[in-house]
Amino acid sequence: MKDPKVFISYSWSSPSHERWVLDLAESLMASGIEVKLDKWDLRLGGDAVAFMESMVTDKSIDKVLIISDKSYSEKADERRGGVGTETQIISKKVYEQVDQERFIAVIAEKDDEGKAYIPTFYHSRLYIDLSNPEAYSEGFEELIRCIYGQPQYQKPKLGKKPDFLSKEITINLGTAPLARRAMTSIKEGKNIAGAALEEYLTIFAENLERFRIEHKNEALFDDQVVANITEFAAYRNELLQVVTNTARYLDQQEAADHLHRFLESILRYQEAPENLNGWRETDFDNYKFIIHEIFLYTITICLKYGKLLIATQLLDKSYYVNSRRAAAYLSNYECFYNDASILSQRNQRLQLNRTSLSADLTKEFNNTSGVDFSSLMQTDFLLFVRCEIHSGHWWPKTLVYLGHYPGAFEIFTRSASAQYFENLKKILKVTGKDELEQFVADATQRGGRYYGFSPWGVDWKRLMNLDDLNCLP
């Protein structure tokens, strides 16, 4: 699925309204939606009217968002106002020239009686209400779903389906209201922010049980696993939004404590539950994939926003692992990497000849995550290097896409600065550049095949910017 693209039509009502529109556009971009906006895409001296009309008729634009406040509604109905005030407003004539399904009215303001300001020509259609700050999160989620064509309530298709497929419309973690409450509390700095976050993470971890797969005789198990982790992607995205707000706005030590407890609490799903007497190791492979992704994305988000304390604590702390195969033990972050071997079996069964089907799925599901895949690769590489230096094990599956990544990873490029290199040392838990040089020497000698990559290997020095590390002030 290609990334959706939208054009925003709005009135230049006031500086505060323009800022409101700009914030909305930035949030949409962060959610994987390409936004066309005059402030970004109309060049100085360009024809604003022609720009607006070309955007509305452009077939590559999936949706046109009508941001309707009092000013917009009045100008759309009366067509009044001078140049520079009405050029981005959709007229009835323009509206009727194209497929009206492409238009989504977004209410930014209501009158004193609580009625939405909306152009007359749009009155008979449904709209999305973002006028109430307290309900903004719910409205924004509805807008995202509408743009992606994934409504919250979907009419099931006629006909009998296997039980495992029915989970596509029945698995519900029931965490959406808690997620909105937590994010709003955190962003607004409310006293209940920590409690709201803990409640969300606790319920999320408990309700993850709903994604446990039951064997169905009529279904191949690897089909069930892929269907299961596909369905989970929406809840992963919800979790990532909460993690992002936690990392950005909450005290770093408090955030690290909450996230560590949560990550530790979901490890149990990689093992057989106490009430299960017989099982196969692959029975929990959906959870292995899901938990690995959650950890990888969490560290990536922390690094993206420069939250070094959170990232290093999640990497440095031990995790309590209660295994039925052995006595309980403490592990470092390696416990979040467990091979979902059922995907390798699927690769062979369908003769897909993929280097890593698990990596393929991670890349496919990345499109809706709001996190760049290159950033995910960088984190995967950092976790791998740290484990290699400290005699651990972490296979960076996303590096099978290295062919799409030129040059060094960003964090290593920035670490040419001595000040930034200090951050890199904390992440990798090294004391100096010499340990990285030793890693490169050892890895080069072993060759790419040793690590499960192509026989011609990986250019470690290039990826790590090794020659230029710590050479600038």
Nearest to 169 by CA among 160, 157, 177: 157
Phi/psi zone of residue 452: left (φ > 0), alpha (ψ -120 to 50 degrees), beta? left
Strands 5-10 and 63-68 turn out to be parallel
Nearest to 315 by CA among 324, 323, 303: 303
Give Cβ neighbours of residue 186 (< 8 Å, ≥ 6 apart). Answer: 193, 196, 197, 245, 246, 249, 250
Are residues 200 and 265 in contact, defined by beta-carbon separation less than 8 angstroms?
Answer: no
Rounded Cα distance, 230 and 218, in Å: 20
DSSP bridge partners of 65: 8, 104
Q: What is the pLDDT of residue 96?
A: 66
Rounded Cα distance, 313 and 435, in Å: 21
Q: What is the pLDDT of residue 169?
A: 45
Q: Model pTM?
A: 0.65
Q: What is the pLDDT of residue 86?
A: 43
Helices (H), 217-284: 221-249, 252-266
Q: What is the pLDDT of residue 76?
A: 78
* Tens digit of each residue's pLDDT (9 = 90 or more) over 141-151: 999 999 998 88
Nearest to 105 by CA among 81, 148, 55, 139: 139
* Tens digit of each residue's pLDDT (9 = 90 or more) over 342-383: 999 999 999 999 989 999 999 999 999 999 999 999 999 999
Name the stretches of the chain with pLDDT < 50.
81-87, 162-169
* DSSP sequence for 404-471: G--SS-HHHHHTTBHHHHHHHHHHHT-SSHHHHHHHHHHHHHH-GGGGTS-TT---HHHHHTGGGTT-
Are residues 355 and 234 in contact, defined by beta-carbon separation less than 8 angstroms?
Answer: no
Q: What is the pLDDT of residue 85?
A: 41
Q: What is the pLDDT of residue 164?
A: 41
* DSSP sequence for 299-317: HHHHHHTT-HHHHHHHHHS
Rounded Cα distance, 427 and 430, in Å: 8
Nearest to 2 by CA among 364, 370, 403: 364
Rounded Cα distance, 304 and 372, in Å: 10
Give Cβ neighbours of residue 338 (< 8 Å, ≥ 6 apart). Answer: 270, 288, 291, 292
